[in-house]
Amino acid sequence: MKNYTSELLEQWDREYIWHPFTQMQEYIKDSPLVVERGEGSYLIDIEGKRYLDGVSSLWVTVHGHNKKDLNSAIEEQLNKIAHSTLLGLANVPSILLAKKLVEITPPGLNKVFYSDSGSTAVEIALKIAFQYWKQKDGGAFSKKIRYISMGEAYHGDTIGSVSVGGMEMFHDIFRPLLFDCVHVPAPYCYRCPLGLAKPSCGMACAQAVEEVMAKSHHEIAAMIIEPLVQGAAGMIVAPEGYLRRVRELCSRYNILLIADEVAVGFGRTGKMFACEHEGVTPDLMCLAKGITGGYLPLAATLATYEVYQAFLGTHSECKTFFHGHTYTGNPVACSAALANIKLIEEERIIGGLGEKISFLEQGLKRFIGLAHVGDIRQKGLMAGIELVKNKGTKEPYLWEDNIGHKVIMEARKNGLVIRPLGNVIVLMPLLSMSIPELDRVLDITYHSIAKIT
Ligand code: PLP
| pLDDT tens per residue, range 344-388 | 999 999 999 999 999 999 999 999 999 999 999 999 999 999 999
Beta-strand pair 382-390/35-39? unpaired
Q: What is the pLDDT of residues 320-338, one digit of tens each?
A: 999 999 999 999 999 999 9
Nearest to 387 by CA among 364, 400, 404: 404
CA pseudo-torsion sign 14, 19, 25, 31: negative
Residue 172 has pLDDT above 90, yes or no: no
Q: What are the CA-CA distances from residue 393 to residues 191, 352, 422, 424 (Å)?
A: 11, 39, 18, 17
- Residue 122 and residue 141: Cα distance in Å, rounded? 22
**Do the Cβ atoms of 129 and 258 come closer than 8 Å?**
yes
Residue 114, strand partner residues:
300
Cβ proximity of 77 and 261 under 8 Å: no
Q: Where are the beta strands (DSSP E) in 185-298?
A: 220-225, 229-230, 236-237, 256-260, 284-287
Give 216 Cα–ligand 1 centroid separation in angstroms.
28
Is a pLDDT exceeding 90 seen at residue 217?
yes
CB 248 within 8 A of CB 284: no
Q: Fill in the amino acid letter for 23.
A: Q
Q: What's the 156 CA to ligand 1 centre distance in angstroms?
A: 5
Query: How far out from the chain centre does Cα 307 lie?
Result: 24
Query: For ligand 1, which residues put their CB under 6 angstroms from it?
Result: 117-119, 122, 154-156, 226, 231-232, 260, 262-263, 288
What mean pLDDT do residues 72-88 have?
98
Work out the pLDDT band at 122, boundaries 50, 70, 90. very high
- Ligand 1 atom nearest to CA at 288: 15
Give the integer Cα–Cα distance in Å for 263 and 60.
Answer: 8
Output the CA torsion sign for 386, 357, 38, 452: positive
Query: By alpha-carbon position, which residue is closest to atom 12 of ligand 1?
Result: 118
Tell me the C-alpha distance between 296 and 146, whole Å: 33
**Distance between CA atoms of 252 and 249, rounded to whole angstroms?**
5
Average pLDDT over residues 12-37: 95
pLDDT band per the 50, 70, 90 thresholds, residue 2:
confident
For 146-282, where are the alpha helices, taking DSSP H only? 159-163, 168-171, 204-216, 242-252
DSSP code of 363? H
For 262-284, write each residue's pLDDT tens digit.
Answer: 999 999 999 999 999 999 999 99
Q: Is 319 helix (H, G, I), strand (E, B) or coil?
A: coil
pLDDT of res. 170:
82
Q: Identify the helix (H) or strand (E) that includes residue 255.
A: none
Q: Is a pLDDT exceeding 80 seen at residue 96?
A: yes
Q: Let me know: does 401 contact 407? Beta carbons within 8 Å.
A: no
Mean pLDDT (the chain) is 97
Rounded mean pLDDT, 403-419: 97
- What are the residues whose beta carbons fall under 8 Å from the beta carbon of 41, sequence distance 6 or more? 52, 53, 64, 65, 429, 430, 432, 433, 434, 437
pLDDT band at 318, cuts 50/70/90?
A: very high
* Alpha carbon distances (Å) from 382 to 55, 136, 334: 9, 39, 25
Query: Nearest C-alpha to atom 13 of ligand 1 is from which residue?
Result: 118
For 392-415, what is the mean pLDDT?
96
Report CA(403)–ligand 1 centroid distance (Å): 23
* Residue 157 clears pLDDT 90, i.e. is over it: yes
Strands 395-396 and 299-304: unpaired
| Cα 327 from Cα 333, distance rounded (Å) | 10
The gap from C-alpha 291 to its chain's centroid, in whole angstroms, comes to 11
**Could you give the domains of the chain?**
33-62+351-452 (3.90.1150.10), 72-346 (3.40.640.10)
What is the complex's ipTM, to 2 decimals? 0.99
Per-residue confidence band for 78, with pLDDT thresholds at 50, 70 and 90: very high
Per residue in 288-309, pLDDT tens?
Answer: 999 999 999 999 999 999 999 9
On the question of pLDDT at 449 being above 80, the answer is yes
Of the chain, the percentage scoring pLDDT greater than 90 comes to: 97
Residue 168 clears pLDDT 90, i.e. is over it: no
Confidence of residue 310 (pLDDT cuts 50, 70, 90): very high
Lowest-confidence segment of 167-176, 212-221, 329-338 by average pLDDT? 167-176
pLDDT bracket for residue 146 (50, 70, 90): very high
Instruction: Give the phi and the psi of residue 56 in degrees, each rounded to 5.
Output: 50, 45
What is the sign, positive or negative, of the torsion defined by CA atoms of 56, 295, 157, 26?
A: positive
Confidence of residue 112 (pLDDT cuts 50, 70, 90): very high
User: What's the predicted TM-score (pTM) here?
Assistant: 0.98
Burial of 85 (0-12, 13-18, 19+ CB in 10 A): middle
Lowest model confidence (mean pLDDT) among 20-34, 51-65, 216-230: 20-34
Residue 289: per-residue pLDDT: 98
What DSSP state is assigned to residue 110?
Answer: E
Q: What is the maximum span of the chain, computed from C-alpha positions, in angstroms?
A: 68
CA of 58 to the centre of ligand 1 (A): 10
Residue of 60, 61, 115, 155 to mutate, ligand 1, most atoms within 8 A of C-beta: 155
Mean pLDDT of 244-249: 98
**Who's near 442: CB < 8 A, 6+ residues apart?**
360, 363, 364, 427
SS3 of residue 355 by DSSP:
helix
State how far the Cα of 408 lies from the Cα of 416, in Å rounded to an integer.
8
